[in-house]
Structure 1
Amino acid sequence: MASPRSNVTGLDEVFRSLDKDGDGKISAAELTLCMRAVGEELSLEDAEAFVALVDGDGDGLLGFEEFVKVVEVEGEEERERGLRAAFEMYESEGEGCITPRSLKRMLGRLGTSRGIHECAAMICRFDLDGDGVLSFEEFTSMMTMA
């Protein structure tokens, strides 16, 4: 697993590649050029709107710290989407939670046979509010422990 420092170092390299003029800031024009270089179209107006949205100090440019915050938010949103998709696979009954029955069904689909009591015991380990099911928050907590 990468250390937080190596992650920032990696982001530093990405930031420098976007900062075409080397002034330590990313302008909307630089962002547009970089997006075009990777085959994506981003109008200057859209780039300016994006920069304005995340520009914490109001200088019309993205500094490194602002860039890191944007990347971290994007990464967190991607992680949440992945967890949500996994949760929905197990939830499958439309109840908004993972029940012993829905867990048993999904484990069976994955080739792991478990009894309903075993599934209830598995849920019990991570059931923080004691209601016998896993909410999305409890599921997320369980997945971050894994």
Structure 2
Amino acid sequence: MDKYRQYERVFNQFDENGDGKISPCELQKCVGLIGGVMSLEEAEAAILSMDSDEDGLLCLEDFVKLVEEAGEEEKANDLKEAFRMYEMDGSGCITPKSLKRMLSRLGESKTIDECKLMVAYFDINGDGQLSFDEFKVMMSFDLCL
């Protein structure tokens, strides 16, 4: 089953009254059913931000955009958390030393020279460390392998 059909099935579950639209109340209730918490005001704001025809409701296309943007935001938050784990010393950058330390914690033994090479491969500005933007590039490359 393709992703659009999956979204459509979820959309239809959220659309309790079957009118082809999701109201703020329906969105709030369904988010609660899947274990999330969303106030009515948050549901209204979420719908307002995606409502293409400005009727105060989400059509299927609006819903797909909402879900995909939420997924992207979650990925970005996960990436920020991972970056903080690797940078460890609060410098805002991943150094070969902090990379070695984190890899060691993950059970992967690398020498400092190997870590320098890993950093250098994605060190776009040549400062010997990875900024968050350089880390994102590294992680997107890793996900493509």
Provide the TM-score with structure 1 as the length reference.
0.83
Compute the displacement of 1:84 (Å): 1.0
Confirm whether residue 59 of structure 1 aligns to residue 82 of structure 2. Answer: no
Q: List alignment gaps of at least 5 residues for structure 1.
A: none
Q: List alignment gaps of at least 5 residues for structure 2.
A: none
For 1:1-146, list aligned pairs within 5 A. 6-35=2-31, 37-38=33-34, 44=40, 47-146=43-142
Q: How far does the alpha carbon of each residue in 1:16-74 deviate from its partner, in whole angstroms, 9 at most, with x for none?
A: 11112222211223334434555767565554444234322211111111111111111
Q: Which amino acid aligns with 2:140?
A: T
Q: How far does the alpha carbon of each residue in 1:2-26 deviate from its partner, in whole angstroms, 9 at most, with x for none?
A: xxx8222111110011112222211
How many residues align? The count is 142
Q: 1:144 to 1:121 in 2, by over 3 A?
A: same
Supply the RMSD in Å over aligned alpha carbons. Answer: 2.3
Q: 1:102 to 1:40 in 2, by over 3 A?
A: closer
Q: 1:138 to 1:21 in 2, by over 3 A?
A: same
Which whole-Å CA distance do the structure 2 matches of 1:7 and 1:85 have between them?
A: 27
Comparing 5-14 with 24-33, greater Cα deviation is found at: 24-33
User: Identity across aligned pairs (percent)?
Assistant: 51
Q: Which amino acid aligns with 1:135?
A: S
Provide the TM-score with structure 2 as the length reference.
0.83
Q: 1:36 to 1:101 in 2, by over 3 A?
A: closer
Q: 1:103 to 1:65 in 2, by over 3 A?
A: same
Which whole-Å CA distance do the structure 2 matches of 1:142 and 1:101 have between them?
A: 17
Q: 1:38 to 1:131 in 2, by over 3 A?
A: closer
Comparing 89-98 with 105-114, greater Cα deviation is found at: 105-114
